[in-house]
Structure 1
Amino acid sequence: MSFDQEYPLPEQPSQLPPARRRRARRSLIPASNDARAEVLENLARRAFPSFEFFLFSLLGGAVLGAGYIFDSQSILLLGILIAPLITPWVGIVLATVTGSGRFFLQTLAGFIISAGLVFGSSLLAGTAARVLPPQSFLQAIIHSHLWWANIFVLVLGSILLVISFVRSEKRPILPSVMLTYELFLPLSAAGFGLGSGFSDFWPNGILVFYVHLALATLVGLLTLVMLGFRPRRLPGCLMSLIIGLLALAVFIWLSGLNSFFLNSLKIPSITASGSETPAVIQTIMTSLTAAESSPPANLESTRTPTLKIPTAQNLTSTPTPEATPVYARVNSAAGQGANVRATPGSDTILVSLINDSLVEILPEVQILNGITWLHIRTAAGIEGWILQTLVITATPATGW
C-alpha cells in the first residue's frame, strides 16, 4: 500500500533556483524526501480499497439492478448513494501520475473487482426481469447512451474529487457521487441488458462505461499534474505517458470522435452496397454528433446506411413520382418518451423511444375508443403503432 521510494529530490528547498522555489511553495507536494513520502503514504492509505468498499459496491449494484427492473429513477439514485466512495479510482490516477507501478496494480485490481460486483449484481437483476411482463426500460435506454450533460458532470466530478481528496482529510462525498453516477449507471445498464436479453443495453452500456472511465482518468491525471504531482524518473514518466495515451486513445476511438473529425474534414468514405459494418459505437455517439436524438433500444442489430453508386441504367430510367414521406418526433409532455406497440392499444411493446426520436408516419391510421393511433416506422426500421398525441410533425402534412 506504499509508493515506490525512487524519486530523489534536493535535500533543502533553499538549494532550488528562485523559480522552482516559488513552484514548490504553490505545490501540495513538499520538497523534502521525508515530507513527500509522508504525504504520498497518507494518500495511498486513504485510496486503498477496503472490505466495506466491496460490500457497498455489491449492495449498490443490486439496488441499481432493481432500479432498472422497475424503471425507477429514484431507486437508481438510491443505488448511487449506497455505492461506496470511489477513492480507488483516485489511487489509480495518483499512482499513474507518480509512476508507482505496484500501487497502480493494487488500486486497479480493487476497482476492477468493484466494477465486477456492480456488473454481476445487475446481470442477476436482468435475469430476473425475464419473467416479468414486458416494460419500456427507459432508464436503461438513457444510461446506455452518451449525453453532453453527462460528459460535463463527469469532468466536473473528476476534478472536484481529485482536488477534495488531495487537499482535505474529509470524505469527498458529493464529488464521489457525481463520478459514481457516471461510471456505475452505464455499467449496471450493461449488466442488466446482458441478463435480460436486451442486446442494445449490453454493448452500448459497457462502451459508455469505458468512454467515461477513460475521460475521467485523463481529467484526473491533468488535475494532479496541475496540483504538482509528477514522476521524477524515466520509468515513472514512461508509465504515466503510456497510460495517459491509452486513456486518450480509448476515449477518442470508442466515443466516435475520430469519425466526427474525419467527417468535419469531409474525407469521403464509400462502402459497397449491401455491406454491413459494426454500428454499436456509431449508435452510442448519435446523441453527441447528430441533431437527432439517440436511436432507440431494440433487439435487432442496426444496419448502417451505405452509399449506392448509380449505374448507367439507373441514370437513363424515367423517375417515378413518389409520395413525400411524413416524419414526426416523439414529444411526450411527461418527458419519458413513448412506447411503440404491435397493434393499437395492445400490451405488446416493440420498442421504447425517448423524446425527440425521429419516426416516419405511415398512411394507416386507426381510431380506438376515441383515441387516434398512428402507424409509424422507427429509424431502426421497426413498424408499430403510437398515440398521435405523443408525436409532433417534423415535415408539413395535411391534418396536423
Structure 2
Amino acid sequence: MSLPASEPIPLPEEELPPARRRRLRRMVIPEHHDEQSAFLDDLGERTTPGAEFFLSALLAGLVTGIALMLDSPALVVLAALLAPFMAPVLGMGVAGVAGSTGFLLRSLVSALIGGLIFFLTGTLTGIPARLFVLNGWVQLSYLLRLDGFSLLLLSLGTVFSTVLLARSTHQRPLVSSVAMAYALFLPLGAAGYGLTSGVPLPWYNGMVVFLIGLAVAALLGAITLVILGLRPLNGLSYLFTGAYMTIVVTALVIWLSGGIPTIQLPEMTPAQLPQAPAQVSAGSQPSPTPAELSATPSVSPTVTLTATATPTRTLIPTNTPTMTVTPQPTPVWARINVKGSNGAVIRAEPGYNAAIVKSLLNGIIVEVLSDVATADGATWVKIRTADGVEGWIVRNLLATATPAPGW
C-alpha cells in the first residue's frame, strides 16, 4: 500500500510543457528557497530583454549616426530617448547578487548584442559622411570622451533605475534608463561612426567608454541591491562583484594615469593667431612701396685725367656691388566662416575624398596662398595655418576683407 505524498513531486524538466521549460531556463534561481530567491527571480524576469530591446537599439543607433553626421545636439538627445530600456545591464547587477552564472552570461550577451547594433549602425552612417563637407564633430568628441561627468551621469542613472526597479513591480524606470543609454550605447555608435567617416579622432575610445561603463553599472547595481537588503546568496555573488570592482578600479587607475587618450577640439590661443599688419600713425615714415623697393641704387664710376708733364695715369673704376630687393607679395588673410556649423576641415588635396589634414573652428585666421584648383564641382584654395600646416579648403568657406588675387 502506497501513502500519498505530503507535497507534490515536481516533474522532470523534460516532461514539462515547452512554455514552462523556457521560463525555467530564464529564471535566475530555478528553485526558490526563500522569499529573497523569489524576489531575485522576479527581478531577473523583468530584466530579461525581449525583441523590442533590439528593435529600439536599431532605431536609436540610426538616429545616433544621423545626429553625428549633422553634429546636432537635439538629435543626440532624441537618440538617447529612443534607446531601449537598459534591462540586460541591470540584469548583470541582479546576477551579481544572486550568483547565477547562466543569468550573468545571458545578460552580458544581450548587452553586447545591443551595443553591437549601435556600433554597426554608426559605421553605416559614417560611410556617406565621407562624401559631404562635415558640419563638425563636437557631439562626436563628447561621446568619445571619458570624463567624470559621464561617469557621474551613468552612476546616477544606474542607482535610480535599480532602486525604482526593485520598489515598483509594474513600471520600468525609463527616465533614468535614458542616462544609462547615453553613457553606454551612444559612445559605441560614435565609435562606429568615427571608424568609417575618416574623422581624425580615436574612434576606439567609444569602445573603452562602453566596457568601463558596463562594469561600473554592474557594480553599482549589485551594491544598490545589497543596500536595499538583498544579501549575496553564495560564493559566486562575491566573486562576480569582486570582478566588477577589479575592472572598475583598474580602468580608473589607467584613466587617471593618462593611459586613455583625451579628446579635445582643435583650438588656437590668441598668441597663435597671425598678427595684422601694423597701421601707420601720423608723423611716422610710411613703408616703402614695392616699386621703391625694386629701385636699384648704383654709383657711377668717375675717371679723372690730369694733364702734366709727367706721364698721364688713368684711374680704373672699381666695381660697386648692386643691391637688389625682391618684393614679396602682400599676404592675404582670411577667417573660417561656415554658416550653419562651427568649423571646417582642410584636406591634403583638392576634393571631398582627399585625406583630412586638420580641423578648424569658425573665426580662426589662416593665410590664403596663391594656389587655386577646381574639383568635385567646387573651387578649392590652398591655405596655411598659424602653425605652418598647409591644406586645401572650399573657397566659399572663407571670409576675406578683400578678394584674394586670382579669385
Residue 152 of structure 2 is matched in structure 1 by 152
User: What is the total number of aligned residue pairs between the two structures?
Assistant: 293
Corresponding residue number in structure 2 for 1:283:
261
Q: TM-score, normalised by structure 1?
A: 0.62
- What does residue 214 of structure 1 align with? 215
Contact 1:336 1:354 in 2 (8 A): no
Q: Contact (CA 8 Å) 1:153, 1:178: kept in 2 or not?
A: yes
Aligned AA (1:238): L
Q: Which residue of 2 aligns with 1:117?
A: 117
Within the alignment, does 1:376 sit opposite 2:386 as a pair?
yes
Q: Which amino acid aligns with 1:196?
A: S
Code of the aligned partner of 2:208: L
CA–CA distance in structure 2, aligned partners of residues 90 and 70 of structure 1: 32
Cα deviation, 1:365-387, whole Å, max 9, x if unaligned, reads 89xxxxxx99323xxx8567998
Match runs of 1:17-166 below 5 Å: 33-166=33-166
1:102 Cα deviation from its structure 2 partner: 0.9
The CA distance in 2 between the partners of 1:98 and 1:327, in whole Å, is 59
Deviation at 1:84, TM superposition (A): 0.9
RMSD of the alignment, in Å?
A: 4.0
Equivalent runs, 1:229-378 vs 2, <5 Å: 229-253=230-254, 256-257=255-256, 259=257, 281-284=259-262, 294=264, 296=266, 326-327=271-272, 338-339=343-344, 341=346, 350-352=357-359, 375-377=385-387
- SS of equivalent to 1:231: coil
Distance 1:231 1:209 in 2: 26
Does structure 2 conserve the Cα–Cα contact (< 8 Å) formed by 1:123 and 1:193?
Answer: yes
Q: Does 1:4 align with 2:29?
A: yes
Cα displacement (A) at 1:205: 2.0
**Partner Cα separation in structure 2 for residue 175 and residue 237 of structure 1:** 27
Shift of 1:336: 7.5
Q: TM-score, normalised by structure 2?
A: 0.61
Q: Using the alignment, how far apart are the partners of 1:251 and 1:214 within structure 2?
A: 11
State the shift of 1:128 in Å.
2.3
1:177 corresponding residue in structure 2: 178
How far is 1:88 from its partner? 1.1
> In 1, Cα distance between the equivalents of 2:71 and 2:398?
21
Q: In 2 relative to 1, CA 175–353 (structure 1 residues): closer, same or farther, beyond 3 Å?
A: farther
Is the contact between residue 29 and residue 37 of structure 2 (CA under 8 Å) also seen in structure 1?
no
1:168 corresponding residue in structure 2: 168
Aligned to 1:376, what secondary structure does the other structure show?
A: coil
Residues 238 and 283 of structure 1: CA distance in aligned 2, closer, same or farther (over 3 Å):
closer
For 1:208 and 1:178, locate their aligned partners in 2 and report how far apart those are by CA, in whole Å: 14
Mapped to 1, the partners of 2:360 and 2:158 lie a distance apart of 31
| Structure 2 residue aligned with 1:302 | none
Give the 3-state SS of the residue equivalent to 2:386 in structure 1.
strand
Letter in 2 for 1:173: L
What CA distance in whole angstroms lies between the structure 2 residues aligned with 1:382 and 1:228? Answer: 61
The structure-2 alpha-carbon separation of the partners of 1:86 and 1:365, relative to structure 1 and needing over 3 Å to count, comes to same
Distance 1:211 1:338, change over 3 A: farther
Q: Deviations over 1:259-308 (max 9, x none)?
A: 16xxxxxxxxxxxxxxxxxxxx4422x6xxxxxxx2549xxxxxxxxxxx
Give the drift of 1:179: 0.8
Equivalent residue, structure 2, for 1:321: none
**In 2, Cα distance between equivalents of 1:128 and 1:52:** 28
Match of 1:133, SS state, is coil
1:204 correspondence with 2:205: yes
Answer yes or no: is the 8 Å Cα contact 2:135–2:344 preserved in 1: no
Residues in 2 aligned to 1:184 and 1:235: alpha-carbon distance in whole angstroms: 28
Q: Which residue identity lines up with residue 29 of structure 2 in the other structure?
A: D
Q: Counterparts of 1:240 and 1:144 in 2: how far apart (Å)?
A: 27
Change (3 A) 1:128 1:235: same
> Structure 1 unaligned runs (5+)?
8-32, 261-280, 287-293, 298-324, 367-372, 390-400
Q: Percent identity?
A: 34
Change (3 A) 1:114 1:382: farther
